Structure 1
Amino acid sequence: MKRSSSLLPGLLLCAAGAAAAVLVNRAVPTLSALLVAILLGVAVTNLVSLPTIFAPGVACSAKRVLRIGIVLLGLQLVLGDVLRLGAGMIAVVVAVVAGGILGSLALGRLLGVRASQRLLIASGFSICGAAAVAGVNSVVEAEEDDVATAIALVVLYGTLMIPTVPLLVHLFGLAELPAGLWAGASIHEVAQVVAAGAALGPASLKVAVVVKLARVLMLAPVVVVIGWRMRRHHSVEAGGHRPPLVPLFVLGFVLMVAVASLHLVPAAWLPVVKTVQTGLLAAAMFALGLGVKVRQLLGVGPRPFLLGLLSTVWVAGLALSGVLLVS
């Protein structure tokens, strides 16, 4: 009881932040509730000194609430939609995620970015933004500064991609279909893909979202592989804590994908489930935003920022090459 009561202030704070973000999204649909939640968290933590009483609940939101939100995110993924992309585009998605992570890790090593930080940046930029950063961090348990930096970079460079991709599409003379494929395969956050896709046209938007959700689906195998490598690393340490081979939230995510693909959830329930999922992820993003201290972020130096820029260009280049090849 005492533990539950200690969580309450922080949970209520994150719930309030999520509610505010959802209201902003309702008023301005082009602004994602999750991105607004991150920015609100960043604003609050840098403008107000929060009492330590909020810390336990905020930590719970950033981990447990986030995992529940990721599990429910699986209900938005229908395997039939992904399979309709065709074998070629599915191969491109796999190549973008795998190649994006490996290439970003190599670039980070060359730049001298520490291992945990470059892994979080590589995962966020290659899979699905802040949710991927947090999902991978649940396995690697990186320093708070590394998580905050990776999330801030996802917001920064992903937001810059919203006007950049439509501009490049125009310069390259891409038709709506390949333009949408490229947007979905290259931009970091789902919400950022929606914003860019809307600027490209309705046909582009539809296919961009499906491609992006296919990248989201890759979160599960990536976390499993990282968890396996972490277990191997910890197994050589006497008495060291070994992370689970497959985290429970990943199993839950996969289960929800199966439920959605088999259409086991009544259609009338899906909007309610999506609202709950958005609220949970918004609360988690607000909590993660509270960890982004501008002074600390400026103190990390230029290397992570350069890695973010290079990773963005690398992932976008891989995606464009793949789309042009299969188109």
Structure 2
Amino acid sequence: MWVALAGAVVALVVNHFVPVLSALTVAVLIGVLVPVRADLQHATRRFLRAGVVLLGLQLSLAQITDLGFGTVLAVVVTVLAGFFGTLALARWIGVSRGLGLMVATGFSICGASAIVAMDSVARTDKEDVAASVTLVTLYGSAAIALVPLIGRGMGSEFLGKWAGLSVHEVAQVVAAASPAGAAAVGAAVVVKLTRVVLLAPIVAGVGFFQRQDGPKPPAVPLFAVGFLAMVLVRSAGILPGPVLDGAKVTTTTLLAAAMFGLGTTVRIGKLVRAGKKGLVLGALSTVLVGGVAFGSLILI
């Protein structure tokens, strides 16, 4: 447990000095590269579930409604099209079922944290989980440069919403929207966190179908319910600002510890074998999510 927290602290320090690198991505890389003999599987699950629950404190219902019906609908359309479209692409390309599910989850919802949350229900091969985190990092980093470049001439609010809809990690969303100014960053973060809300029903849905094949975790994981409960707590306005700020740091620390624990289970040789098909899937999924997001904002 303490080993995982130490890995998380190192990842947070790296993120502080290099903000473009998500602390979650750094944490999983440290876990992969640093030899650890301790079995962190139980601690990883506990950190992940607690982190996802606290993540709900970063979003309120008022922020969602302020976006307007059209933008919220664009979020739903983008996430669903990205998730199910990526699953279809994975079958077409011929990647493993687990890698397809992890890429679909991470690219359509919220990157590494969504991937690890889905893994707690789907019980996927850890190499598939780590490979999908690597792909999220690669293509999300590319989006930091491409979104502002493609979005030249767009209004700042439109570009911010598009970044929030199409870029994978929260840190990457902020970096992609920053060239367009503070208004773009504000819109991007709220849209991104609205995507995160859909993590709960999608994880619950996958959990339900997994149960059809034998004993599995509960169809509606308690941490998903806890996430929605924390959104309601934030919406009630009963928590002061310092508590919310502290919860944000704690959330990142817990999720980073979970990612470090995940990294310790990875074997590099198996990860490399994700190969070209994984790269192709990541590229196609990025184009799919970005295209649907752009089209949804234009049409809706």
Q: Is the 1:187–1:193 contact (alpha carbons within 8 Å) kept by the matching residues of 2?
A: yes
Post-superposition shift, 1:30? Answer: 4.4
Q: In the aligned structure 2, how far is the partner of 1:149 from the partner of 1:29?
A: 22
Q: In the aligned structure 1, how far is the partner of 2:216 from the partner of 2:25?
A: 33
Give the 5 Å matches for 1:1-327: 11-44=1-34, 49-51=35-37, 54-55=38-39, 58-170=40-152, 173-231=153-211, 233-234=212-213, 240-326=214-300
Aligned length: 300
The unaligned stretches of length 5 or more in structure 1 are 1-10, 235-239
Q: Is the 2:98–2:124 contact (alpha carbons within 8 Å) kept by the matching residues of 1?
A: yes
Q: In the aligned structure 1, how far is the partner of 2:200 from the partner of 2:60?
A: 15
Post-superposition shift, 1:188? Answer: 0.7
Q: In the aligned structure 2, how far is the partner of 1:174 from the partner of 1:271?
A: 32
Give the aligned residue type for 2:296. G
Alignment partner of 1:80: what SS? helix
Identical pairs, percent: 46
Q: In the aligned structure 2, how far is the partner of 1:297 from the partner of 1:268?
A: 41
Post-superposition shift, 1:199? Answer: 2.6
Deviation digits for residues 86-141 of structure 1 (CA, Å, limit 9, x no counterpart): 10010100001101011111111111122222111101100001111111111111
User: Which entry has the higher C-alpha Rg, 1 or 2?
Assistant: 1
Q: Is the 1:148–1:291 contact (alpha carbons within 8 Å) kept by the matching residues of 2?
A: no
Alignment partner of 2:110: what SS? coil
Length-normalised TM-score, structure 2: 0.95
Q: Is the 2:19–2:171 contact (alpha carbons within 8 Å) kept by the matching residues of 1?
A: no
Q: Is the 1:152–1:292 contact (alpha carbons within 8 Å) kept by the matching residues of 2?
A: no
Q: In the aligned structure 1, how far is the partner of 2:265 from the partner of 2:174?
A: 26
Flag the 1:294–1:163 CA change in 2: closer, same or farther, 3 A. Answer: farther
Give the aligned residue type for 1:78. S
Give the aligned residue type for 1:277. T
Q: In the aligned structure 2, how far is the partner of 1:293 from the partner of 1:152?
A: 14
Q: Which residue of 2 aligns with 1:237?
A: none
Q: Is the 2:53–2:223 contact (alpha carbons within 8 Å) kept by the matching residues of 1?
A: yes
Post-superposition shift, 1:38? Answer: 2.8
Post-superposition shift, 1:274? Answer: 1.6
Q: In the aligned structure 2, how far is the partner of 1:167 from the partner of 1:217?
A: 28
Q: In the aligned structure 2, how far is the partner of 1:125 from the partner of 1:145?
A: 17
Alignment partner of 1:243: what SS? coil
Deviation digits for residues 148-199 of structure 1 (CA, Å, limit 9, x no counterpart): 11111111111111111111112xx211111001000000111110111223
Post-superposition shift, 1:29? Answer: 4.1
Alignment partner of 1:188: what SS? coil
Q: In the aligned structure 1, how far is the partner of 2:97 from the partner of 2:27?
A: 28
Deviation larger for 304-313 or 20-29: 20-29
Give the aligned residue type for 1:311. S
Q: Is the 2:25–2:112 contact (alpha carbons within 8 Å) kept by the matching residues of 1?
A: no
Note the aligned Cα RMSD (angstroms): 1.6
Flag the 1:28–1:114 CA change in 2: closer, same or farther, 3 A. Answer: closer
Q: In the aligned structure 1, how far is the partner of 2:12 from the partner of 2:263?
A: 15
Deviation larger for 69-78 or 266-275: 266-275
Deviation larger for 91-100 or 283-292: 283-292
Q: Which residue of 2 aligns with 1:8?
A: none
